[in-house]
Amino acid sequence: MPQFLNSRDADFDVRFTALLGMKREDSPDVDEIVAGIIADVRARGDAAVLELTARFDRLELTAQTMRFTPAEIDGIAATVPAAERDALELAADRIRAYHVRQMPENELWTDPDGATLGWRWTAVQAAGLYVPGGLASYPSSVLMNAVPAKVAGVKRLAITVPTPDGVVNPAVLLAAKIAGVDEVYRIGGAQAVAALAYGTGSIAPVDKITGPGNAFVAAAKRRVFGKVGIDMIAGPSEILVIADADNDPDFIALDLMSQAEHDESAQSILITDDDAFGRKVADAVAARLETLERRAIAGASWRDFGAVITVRDLDEAAALADRIAPEHLELCVADPEALSEKISNAGALFLGGFTPEAVGDYVGGPNHVLPTARSARFSSGLSVLDFMKRTTIARMTPAALKAIGPAAETLAKSESLEAHGLSVRVRLDKLNEG
Amino acid sequence: MPQFLNSRDADFDVRFTALLGMKREDSPDVDEIVAGIIADVRARGDAAVLELTARFDRLELTAQTMRFTPAEIDGIAATVPAAERDALELAADRIRAYHVRQMPENELWTDPDGATLGWRWTAVQAAGLYVPGGLASYPSSVLMNAVPAKVAGVKRLAITVPTPDGVVNPAVLLAAKIAGVDEVYRIGGAQAVAALAYGTGSIAPVDKITGPGNAFVAAAKRRVFGKVGIDMIAGPSEILVIADADNDPDFIALDLMSQAEHDESAQSILITDDDAFGRKVADAVAARLETLERRAIAGASWRDFGAVITVRDLDEAAALADRIAPEHLELCVADPEALSEKISNAGALFLGGFTPEAVGDYVGGPNHVLPTARSARFSSGLSVLDFMKRTTIARMTPAALKAIGPAAETLAKSESLEAHGLSVRVRLDKLNEG
């Protein structure tokens, strides 16, 4: 059974705060092992990567066979059934159409003092995308990472995907092909992250690494951060559904389960203004948990971290949502737009009863790489901006320097940075002579 | 003497690569100490912060006197000389005018399938700004962090600034006042970062922490990352100047020294297409180093990390600049705009002979918090976006769900996520019944 909370109860604040503070993930401390792997890859390059791949993935490769050839990719991708191919292409088209709109504008203007100011956005030159192997080898994640990178203009996009015992998910290769990925390597784990960050004889280094992974991959990404950029370190997935009594309890139950089935550490929370409806949803979840394929995982998640919260009204729901700062937020209420205006901390909003989060996971268009663990308070989902950087631009004219240079000189002196001040002063003196 | 490199030399690539790979910073490993301080502040709140402040800053405070009162801020800020006050106000106005233009747009559109898609930007609700004490207590850094936060719409902006022995830089308090900072605390070190991240009895927690600091502050920011957002961990400062022979060598020398005087680990590099000009600049640096107040620091930086690189032409200079990915890049050439188009990796560009970097440090308008250590390959300077987050929006209509829902169901099945698929299927079935 999940927790049932009611905002009218005397102990509500205590219990809600405890719910917010729940530790859901107990990552093993693999940092020392990962540090050793990274050092090995830096020192020995391909040889280290090949040895580690033989050991962990039971796969003997060479520097030549580490990378899928275009013909291999074509051949394996061709085995994907037509329905899945069509679905991936529809998803890629929609994700592309959404992310193209995120392309930022360059700006350049002249201010009243005559200074030209602005900025210019450029794409990261090379990016690497980590794709997990095995059961979590999701083609949808390939699209969600690779399409924005290519929209941003990344020239060289490399994927690493471990293929334990040589097994690869053909849909992953098809998604890579559809997204325009340039290189795909049969490697994984911390050694793949190290190879992308530092390069090896046969893998050129990249500037940015994104994509999900296990504890080893997460630890490796943390360690190479600074040498390269990384995306967020994602925690277990979460959904918050705010629903009134005008919903089918079974629909809401399935939405809650679509997070719970990801991971025993996932969290699904329902907030409703109708206590009886909340009970009906919990009953519907119980019924679904009898037959769902992933009922062991989903059941554990719901039992340990699930919650049904009854509130007085939707304003209260909005205030609680802002404290939860959920990764995914469904608003299944009569006027979801109005309710959404009252909430600022959420990774992604799904409005109305016809927008199950699963649509957003695959084909909605917005990205499904989203901030977890309450980090929507300060961060955003993946976007084209994650594959771009902004260079600021300033150009002074003699008149502009005369107008604002003395203030710079004054501040430099006050901060005891003499050369800063002099670099302005010598130019002002020359202008004043001239 | 700095290094002299010439791209015509046989060993140029080796030497240039070595220059890029130079380790300039040897941070002490204070992570264990910092972990202890953070744990202590989490456990004991104000009491821990007050004890640590007494120990490290030799300052006895109470929960009441930890925060500057508005009257104290007014009184101390009033002691700043008028010229400095005017300069700070001019700087704040220009920084504000620049950053207002960075405010991102919300978007909402209806796609051909009838789905409503878009995103909305909102400000981080509370932010904390770390300001170092002592010599590096720069009012300009207060403006560069606080003004963008306030432009973004951050409601609550708290500053921590250590005041060892009770000494505070009045210009820091004035800058805080000008920028509209809401709270200023007399605390510093890892304990201040912990207090901002986790809160204490008298300091409410924030969502994001920015600002420079020593090794303890940097380690604390790394440790609280995830609980709160942080800005970059800045390394030692750098400047690259690309200059042709039509410049006054002394001006360029001062520009190089304006980085070198920050820190013995700072790096100043000149690239020129005229070998003789490069020698003249080096001579001018040597002359300036005889009299500069901070000649010990600037001289060590120039000796250990400085470089003068002669290239065949400006195209070659641009290619090298992209590999260096400098924090600051001055283009002192006849057509700096044309040259700038060939460079994509740089934190900030300063175009033409009248734009010494020092103008940008204080009053130009663009931010002076910029990516160091080659991270301009994948990251950008501080902006209003660092104090905002984006929530994506999706709303399906029945028609939109009918159009794209089946593809989501197909992909969910292919990823063995049954509840995902069912959450779409039950809605489609209901629509098909209706």
- Domains, chain A, in order of start with CATH, read 3-23+235-364 (3.40.50.1980), 31-101+124-230 (3.40.50.1980), 396-433 (no CATH)
Give the pLDDT mean for A89-97.
98
pLDDT of A25 > 80? The answer is no
Residues of A in contact with B123 (CB under 8 A): 344
What is the band of A23 on the pLDDT scale with cuts at 50, 70, 90?
A: confident
Question: Catalytic: A327?
Answer: yes
Higher-pLDDT residue of B340 and B134 is B340
Contacts of A292 in chain B (CB under 8 A): 418-419
Of the listed A238, A261, A328, A368, which one is catalytic? Answer: A328
Contact B350 A411 (CB under 8 A): no
Quick one: pLDDT band at residue A426, thresholds 50, 70, 90?
A: very high
What is the overall mean pLDDT for chain B?
96
Q: What pLDDT is recorded for position A338?
A: 98
Q: What residues of chain A, 344 to 403, have a C-beta less than 8 Å from chain B?
A: 344-367, 370-371, 373, 375-381, 383, 385, 389-398, 400-401
| pLDDT of amino acid A353 | 96
Q: What is the pLDDT of residues A379-411, one digit of tens each?
A: 999 999 999 999 999 999 999 999 999 999 999
pLDDT at residue B206 in the model: 98
Q: Of the candidates B258, B383, B393, which has its C-beta nearest A351's C-beta? A: B393
- The model's pLDDT over B99-128, given as tens digits with 9 standing for 90+, comes to 999 999 999 999 999 999 999 999 999 999
Does A26 have pLDDT greater than 80? no
The per-residue pLDDT for A288 is 98
pLDDT grade for A140, boundaries at 50, 70 and 90? very high
Q: What share of chain B in percent tops pLDDT 70? A: 100
pLDDT of amino acid B315: 98
> Is the model's pLDDT at A18 over the cut of 80?
yes
Q: Whose CA is closest to A212, among A368, A347, A422, A340?
A: A368
- Range 226-245 of A in CB contact (< 8 A) with B: 226, 228-229, 233
Over the stretch B185-194, which tens digit does the pLDDT of each residue have?
999 999 999 9
User: Pick from A393, A401, A415: which is nearest to B349 by CB?
Assistant: A393
Does the beta-carbon distance from A390 to B383 stay under 8 Å?
yes
Nearest by CB to A419, which of B116, B261, B396?
A: B261
Residue A134's pLDDT band, with cuts at 50, 70 and 90, is: confident
Q: Is B428 on the interface with A (CB under 8 A)?
A: no
pLDDT at residue B27 in the model: 74
Q: For B368-388, what is the mean pLDDT?
A: 96
Could you tell me the pLDDT band of residue B232, with boundaries at 50, 70 and 90? confident
pLDDT value, residue A183: 98
- Check CB contact of A115 with chain B, cutoff 8 Å: yes
pLDDT, average across residues A406-417: 97
Tokens linked to A105: 């504008």
The residues of B carrying an active-site annotation are: 327-328
Q: Which of B91, B254, B396 faces A419 most closely, judged by CB atoms?
A: B254
Residue A28 has a pLDDT of 78
Token output for A142: 């390939």
Indicate the residue of A124, A255, A261 with minimum beta-carbon distance to B418. Answer: A261
Please indicate if any CB of chain A lies within 8 Å of the CB of B87.
yes
Identify all chain A residues contacting B350, using CB atoms and an 8 Å cutoff: 394-395
Q: Which residues of A touch B292 (CB under 8 A)?
A: 418-419
- Mean pLDDT value of segment B377-397: 98
pLDDT digits 0-9 by tens, B291-334: 999 999 999 999 999 999 999 999 999 999 999 999 999 999 99
pLDDT grade for B23, boundaries at 50, 70 and 90:
confident
| Separation in Å, CA of B352 to nearest CA in chain A | 6
| B 242-301: CB under 8 A from A | 248, 250-251, 254-255, 257-258, 260-262, 288, 292-294, 298
Share of chain B above pLDDT 90, in %: 94
B250 carries a ligand binding annotation: no
Percentage with pLDDT > 90 across chain A: 94
Could B395 and A228 be called an inter-chain contact, meaning their C-beta atoms sit closer than 8 Å? no
The pLDDT tens digits of the residues spanning A288-345 come to: 999 999 999 999 999 999 999 999 999 999 999 999 999 999 999 999 999 999 999 9
Task: Tell me the chain B residues in contact with residue A358 when contact means C-beta distances shorter than 8 Å.
Answer: 408, 412, 417, 419-421, 423-424
Q: Is the pLDDT of residue B76 over 90?
A: yes
pLDDT tops 90 at residue A165: yes
Both tokens assigned to B166: 């009770």
**Residue A235 pLDDT > 90:** no
Is B404 at the interface with chain A, CB within 8 A?
A: yes
Say whether pLDDT at B412 is over 90. yes
Find the mean pLDDT for residues A243-265: 97
pLDDT at position B86: 98
